[in-house]
């Protein structure tokens, strides 16, 4: 707490003159708007210089103690004021923006003038302005609480000896005037550079100023450069500090024999890893066998790499892993959460090498229901690395693969028997199961798209997913007994508004969603089963996904809507997700407590507030990774489609907006925009209720699910947009 200077000196003459903190707070809380200091002086009859100076000191102390907030132009406010809101600025390429806040149902509009006081990504305090007519609420910027310190990537230009950079991200809708640079040796017009905004980046003429801190390239855009831009645009940490490198140097490459003797020895069990062909890390392996008991059933072992053995709390690697939050997988590059020595060597369950693991051993019934589970530390030796396609083909008696893996055939067939049981009886019977059809690329030697195809998940994918979900369910049940602060994987129910909008779209498609105001998971599942054979299944599935909330990490258990589970955690990927490391530490702490072992230094019992902050950060880093990889994927698609300008394709209307509609090309699964102004045969107006365009004279309509022939007319690599026109 900050002590007021005049209080500290105990000046008696101020005691009756200067109002107490409580009186100031009471006055501000009763005011509907922000209040200038002069008005506070008038309210409490403060007239002479010494009294005014003392009041300023008191207000400053209250600000530092976060009792009040100081805004622009000597204005003061308390957060309890119903007209105040804290949120994140979302910039728009046309100069205006929006304020997104959990305190409001919908985004608030920020005018071009207001956007001159802040930039995209800033966390600000704003005043809600309610217009007289029924228009969107707007926001007035009062104070930047947390500036967006992101480095901005852009292209370098010179005009009349004035240097400036135009940001690649069009949400930063301004020029950055360069006041200094690390070097001008390799700078040329059009160079892609990284700029750091100056501390007070706005000068007197309201121009944004900054410093060039890195020159990325003078060359044309390519996949590697697009990835470098995304890494810096989204502030993804990608360099290892000297402290991390030093810690890595001291980590032994061999496992201590004392550690091996202390653990359960499972090296004789035929564990396998089963992943995608292009997988970069292997942190889970499985083994199963039938029970010998009369009741029957199965024992299933899920072995997860014991990352927490190597990564101790508070160390340099741990702090860096927390900062990264998760690994980021770009088409041609991985930015790992953990250094390669850990992620691709010591903690990767490579074949025929001893690895330390945390085991979730589960007992399943004849119908695949989870009966019991237990956890322990072990050492395993994986006996093979398989891909999903290999396992699926072996299950379907592929002769060549059966001969190749003859020694492992018995165990692989065992997996098939368990798979049939788990397929028949879903792990979460009421959960929403989407048939994920992923668009994948094959890249050539220049890292350009060679081929685009849809990757459909087979039974091997679904089986491993079921095994991992079972392990996560078991982990949630196990750790909840001890009430340690951990991160749950929460997936909240959809909002009423999103359900109303979803039903409106479904109604246009001749479909309905049961379940009342807030449907349950099984109502979504019932709908998915009904539309399974429809040609627009993928599009409808995407619409359903968009209606749901994003899953997040939090210490407060709110359940998982998508899986229809009362609690859920992430246990199975500690190489690439930080919340999994936290859970492993908590489980190991519980195991040591059970066995009354004092060696529990690896677990740093954090309080719930700290865990909450970590949860917010990891949720953010997960979204950050999604947005960054999507940016690169979009660039790759546009680069690919540049060669298709003038070509004609068949596609389906996948989304309808006020400015046009998007068509997904059947051949390449890529979306392009047909702008409403390109519809020349009539004047079309947008019906926001039924989400369609209607011709005023012809009454022709364009709506979701329509199959159209379109022509590629332009591709904008910088804005990552593809524009189409209709073929008549």
pLDDT at 201: 63
Helix axis angle for 388-395 and 409-424, nearest 10°, is 90
- Phi, psi (rounded to 5 degrees) for 678: -85, -5
Structural contact between residues 121 and 138, judged by C-beta atoms closer than 8 angstroms: no
State the CATH architecture for 645-726: Beta Barrel (2.40)
The HSE-up count of residue 519 (CA atoms within 13 Å, CB side) is: 24
Q: What span, in angstroms and rounded, lies between the C-alpha atoms of 591 and 608?
A: 21
SS (H, E, C) 594-662: HCCCCCCCCCCCCCHHHHHHHHHHHHHHHHHHHHHHHHHHHHHHHHHHHHHCCCEEEEEEEEEECCEEE
192 bridge partner residues: 155, 217
Torsion of CA 161, 167, 170, 171, to 10 degrees: -110
Provide the 3-class DSSP secondary structure of residue 71: coil
Q: What span, in angstroms and rounded, lies between the C-alpha atoms of 435 and 590?
A: 37
Please give the helix or strand (H or E) that residue 478 lies within, else none: helix 459-480
Please give the helix or strand (H or E) that residue 166 lies within, else none: strand 162-167
pLDDT at 663: 95
Q: What span, in angstroms and rounded, lies between the C-alpha atoms of 701 and 708?
A: 12
State the CATH architecture for 84-146: Beta Barrel (2.40)
DSSP category for residue 517: S
Structural contact between residues 695 and 686, judged by C-beta atoms closer than 8 angstroms: no
Task: Give which of 446, 620, 649, 465 is closest to 550, Cα–Cα.
Answer: 620
pLDDT at 236: 95
Query: How high is the mean pLDDT in each 10-residue block of the chain (728 residues)?
Result: 48 61 85 80 86 88 83 74 81 87 82 88 86 76 84 90 89 87 78 86 71 84 90 93 96 92 95 90 94 88 97 95 96 94 95 96 94 96 95 95 93 94 79 78 89 87 95 96 92 91 88 90 91 83 89 95 94 97 94 67 63 94 94 94 95 90 92 92 87 91 91 91 91
pLDDT at 435: 74
Q: Where are the alpha helices (DSSP H) in 481-551?
A: 496-508, 521-530, 537-547
Q: How far is CA 173 from CA 34, 101, 166, 168, in A?
A: 29, 21, 8, 10
What is the DSSP code string of 424-448?
Answer: HS-TTTTS-----EEEEEEE-TTS-
Q: Which CATH superfamily is domain 152-219 in?
A: Nucleic acid-binding proteins (2.40.50.140)
């Amino acid at each position: 707490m900050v002590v007021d200077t005049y209080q500290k000196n105990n000046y008696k003459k101020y005691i009756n003159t200067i109002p107490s903190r409580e009186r100031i707070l009471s006055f501000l809380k009763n005011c509907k708007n922000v209040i200038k200091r002069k008005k506070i002086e008038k309210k409490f009859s403060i007239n002479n210089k010494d009294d005014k100076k003392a009041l300023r000191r008191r207000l400053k102390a209250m600000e530092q103690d976060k009792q009040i907030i100081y805004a622009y132009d000597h204005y003061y406010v308390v957060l309890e004021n119903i007209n105040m809101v804290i949120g994140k600025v979302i910039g728009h390429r046309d100069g205006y923006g929006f304020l997104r806040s959990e305190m409001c149902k919908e985004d608030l509009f920020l005018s071009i003038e207001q956007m001159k006081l802040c930039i995209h990504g800033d966390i600000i305090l704003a005043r809600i302005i309610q217009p007289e007519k029924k228009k969107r609420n707007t926001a007035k910027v009062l104070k930047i609480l947390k500036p967006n310190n992101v480095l901005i990537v852009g292209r370098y230009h010179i005009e009349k000896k004035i240097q400036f950079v135009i940001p690649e991200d069009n949400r930063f809708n301004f020029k950055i005037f360069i006041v200094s640079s690390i070097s001008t040796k390799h700078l040329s017009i059009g160079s892609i550079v990284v700029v750091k905004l100056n501390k007070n980046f706005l000068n007197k003429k309201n121009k944004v100023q900054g410093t060039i801190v890195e020159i990325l390239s003078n060359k044309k855009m390519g996949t590697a450069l697009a990835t470098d831009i995304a890494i810096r645009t989204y502030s993804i940490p990608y360099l290892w500090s000297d402290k991390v490198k030093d810690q890595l140097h001291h980590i032994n490459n061999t496992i201590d024999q004392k550690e091996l003797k202390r653990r359960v020895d499972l090296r004789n069990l035929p564990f396998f890893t089963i992943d995608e062909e292009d997988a970069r890390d292997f942190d889970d392996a499985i083994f199963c066998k039938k029970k010998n008991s009369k009741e029957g059933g199965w024992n299933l072992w899920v072995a997860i790499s014991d990352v927490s053995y190597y990564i101790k709390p508070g160390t340099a690697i741990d702090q860096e892993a927390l900062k990264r939050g998760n690994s980021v997988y770009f088409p041609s590059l991985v930015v790992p959460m953990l250094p390669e020595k850990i992620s691709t060597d010591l903690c990767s369950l490579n074949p025929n090498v001893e690895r330390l693991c945390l085991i979730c051993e589960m007992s399943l019934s004849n119908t695949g229901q989870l009966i019991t589970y237990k956890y322990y530390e072990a050492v395993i030796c994986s006996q093979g690395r398989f891909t999903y396609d290999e396992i699926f083909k072996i299950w379907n008696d592929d002769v060549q693969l059966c001969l190749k893996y003859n020694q492992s055939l018995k165990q692989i067939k065992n997996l098939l028997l368990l798979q049939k049981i788990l397929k028949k009886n879903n792990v979460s019977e009421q959960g929403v199961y989407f048939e994920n059809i992923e668009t994948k690329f094959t890249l050539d030697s220049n890292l350009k798209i060679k081929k685009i195809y849809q990757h459909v998940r087979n039974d091997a994918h679904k089986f491993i997913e079921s095994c991992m979900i079972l392990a996560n369910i078991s982990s949630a049940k196990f750790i909840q007994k001890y009430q340690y602060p951990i991160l749950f994987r929460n997936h909240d129910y959809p909002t009423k508004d999103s359900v109303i909008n979803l039903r409106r779209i479904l109604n246009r498609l001749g479909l309905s969603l049961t379940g009342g105001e807030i449907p349950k998971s099984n109502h979504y599942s019932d709908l998915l089963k009904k539309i399974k054979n429809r040609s627009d299944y993928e599009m409808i599935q995407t619409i359903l996904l968009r209606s749901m909330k994003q899953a997040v990490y939090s210490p407060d258990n709110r359940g998982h809507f998508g899986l229809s589970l009362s609690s859920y955690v992430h246990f199975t990927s500690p190489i690439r997700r930080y919340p999994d490391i936290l859970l492993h530490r908590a489980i190991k702490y519980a195991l040591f407590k059970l066995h009354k072992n004092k060696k529990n230094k690896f677990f740093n019992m954090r309080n719930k507030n700290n865990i909450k902050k970590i949860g917010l950060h990891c949720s953010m880093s997960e979204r950050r990774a999604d947005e960054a990889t999507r940016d690169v994927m979009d660039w790759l698609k546009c680069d690919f489609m540049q060669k298709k300008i003038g070509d004609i394709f068949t596609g389906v209307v996948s989304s309808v907006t006020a400015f046009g509609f998007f068509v997904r090309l059947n051949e390449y699964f890529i979306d392009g925009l047909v702008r409403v102004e390109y519809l020349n045969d009539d004047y079309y107006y947008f019906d926001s209720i039924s989400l369609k365009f209607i011709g005023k004279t012809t009454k022709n309509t364009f709506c979701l699910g329509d199959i159209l022939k379109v022509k590629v007319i332009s591709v904008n690599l910088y804005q990552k947009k593809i524009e189409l026109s209709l073929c008549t």
